[in-house]
Amino acid sequence: MSKPFKPKTVVDVKRMTRSDITALYKHCMRIVGQDDHIIKAQSKDNKWLFGDDTNFLNVVDEYIREQGATLDKRNVKPATALVLQASPEYFRRDYHRDDPEGFGKYDTKKLNDWVLANVKWLKNTFGSDCIAAHLHVDERTPHIHAVIVPMFEKAPTMPKNKRKGETQAHFDLRVERAKKKKGRKVVSHHKHYLFGAGRKSYEIVVDSYAAAVEHLGIDRSERGSEATPTTKQEWARLLYKKSKEIEQNLIGKQKRQRLEDESFEFGAAALMDEKIRYAEAKDGRDEGLLPSTNWPQDKHEQNEIRSGVKPAKTRIVAFAKKIRDFTNTSLEKAKMRVFEMLKAVEKREAAVKAKEIELAEREQALGLMEGIEDTWFEDGEMSAANERTLRENGIIQDKIEHQPVLEVREELVRVQVR
């Protein structure tokens, strides 16, 4: 089920420099600026609600002179621009807010009721300070540009303390004279009762405006929401604000990255110096870092290490784990190399020992030959046991029967040649 129809107020407030005032006048008169969003056939229906087609800047200067006002030192921007609008649905309920077919179309009665409410609000709120208001019906949605010269009456300065050597009677006389003086008007956005509330001033303006159009079924915009831009200047202002936010975010990321890199360098040095080490996850505790063999005893140095690794702790923990795994792997490889080397040495030593035993046995056998006496023989023949002993020691070997060599006779073969 769709939500009930609830058009909202759309308000934009901007303090204007003298060049801004001229630029706004040219926009209203369609003298310059991008016009691809303008429905030119309807520009003739734009109309003045306050003022006329005189350049806004001339009107502002003339109004300030007539009022005998001066500019506040902090207020280098002599005028304030308002853009007043309602949600597109208020003017054209038969079209979607972003449907190009509905751009520039509106309910005449609703528009007139809305314009009347805006005129009353501008007159009651700003009086003669609203020097111009122009209705635009040739853009996406009807809206009003209003120019305000924000003034306040500054009370005369009252004497607070007696001057040096001044009598009480003379001081009282100065106070009475000050009370009779008239205040003077000052152009100031900062001191204006509606615009001078600092960050809350925008909300105050929207509250006041929403109360003026509430009877038309237009609700106040959500607090903290931004008005939907309708003009090139508003889009430019929004894009500039967004670009600044992106720039600030980028600067913030760069600062955080530099801080993290410095922290990582610090942590890597602490790992190399064996002040900290990798700690595996255990008993519900996440993996992290623990003091190592060279952990300092001084509390200040300990706190310095803890704070130094904090910005890049995640990176340092991952790096420490890689070091641990690499060290273990390298140690295992080293162990295997030592094992293979020792095994090769053992084989060589075993071979040498076997050779030594073989040589010793041969020498022993030769010694037996040299010590053979008649006792080895019985009735002039060697006994079977003695013969077996000599055979086992390789002293007596069976006679090798030589096979006759096959002789090949060569014969001369003569071939008849034809």
Q: Give 191's pLDDT tier (boundaries 50, 70, 90).
A: confident
- pLDDT tens profile 223-243: 755 544 445 555 677 777 777
Taking residue 117's Cβ as centre, other Cβ atoms within 10 Å add up to: 19
Percent of the chain at pLDDT above 70?
A: 78
What is the end-to-end Cα distance of the chain in Å, rounded?
120
The residue with greater pLDDT, 155 or 310, is 310
SS3 (DSSP) at 241:
helix
> Which amino acid is located at 290 in the chain?
L
Q: Which domains does the chain have, with CATH numbers?
A: 9-160+181-228 (3.30.930.30), 255-316 (no CATH)
Query: Is pLDDT at 370 greater than 70 in this prediction?
Result: no
Spatial distance between the Cα atoms of 394 and 388, rounded to a whole number of angstroms: 10
Spatial distance between the Cα atoms of 198 and 206, rounded to a whole number of angstroms: 14
Q: Give 84's pLDDT tier (boundaries 50, 70, 90).
A: very high
In 3-state terms the chain splits into helix, strand, coil percentages (rounded to 5) of: 50, 15, 35
pTM: 0.51
- pLDDT tens profile 317-351: 888 888 888 877 777 777 777 777 877 887 788 78
The residue with greater pLDDT, 247 or 97, is 247
- Residue 99 is given by DSSP the state -
Q: Give the lowest-confidence range in 15-19, 155-159, 198-202.
A: 155-159
Q: pLDDT value at position 230?
A: 46
Q: pLDDT value at position 88?
A: 86
Q: Residues 74-98: what's their mean pLDDT?
A: 81
Name 377's Cβ contacts closer than 8 Å, sequence gap at least 6: 383, 386
DSSP states of 36-96:
TT--GGGGGG-EEEES-SS-HHHHHHHHHHHHT-EE-TT----EEEEEEEE-HHHH-TTS-
Q: pLDDT value at position 389?
A: 74
Q: Residues 87-98: what's their mean pLDDT?
A: 78
Most confident stretch, 88-92, 226-230, 276-280, 389-393: 276-280
- pLDDT tens profile 164-180: 878 888 877 877 777 76
Most confident stretch, 252-261, 369-378, 398-407: 252-261
Per the CB < 8 A criterion, the answer to whether 260 and 312 are in contact is yes
Per the CB < 8 A criterion, the answer to whether 185 and 153 are in contact is yes
Query: Is pLDDT at 410 greater than 90 in this prediction?
Result: no
Query: Is pLDDT at 304 greater than 70 in this prediction?
Result: yes
Q: Give 394's pLDDT tier (boundaries 50, 70, 90).
A: low
Q: Give 74's pLDDT tier (boundaries 50, 70, 90).
A: low
The residue with greater pLDDT, 415 or 188, is 188
- pLDDT tens profile 148-159: 998 887 766 777
Which residues share a beta bridge with 35? none
Structure tokens at 331: 């140690």
- pLDDT tens profile 206-221: 899 999 999 998 888 8
Q: pLDDT value at position 199?
A: 67
Spatial distance between the Cα atoms of 268 and 316, rounded to a whole number of angstroms: 7
Most confident stretch, 3-17, 37-51, 133-147, 372-386: 133-147
Q: Residues 131-137: what's their mean pLDDT?
A: 92
- pLDDT tens profile 37-46: 788 888 888 9
Q: Hey, CA dihedral for 24, 28, 34, 38, is it positive or negative? A: positive
Percent of the chain at pLDDT above 90?
A: 15
Per the CB < 8 A criterion, the answer to whether 48 and 133 are in contact is yes
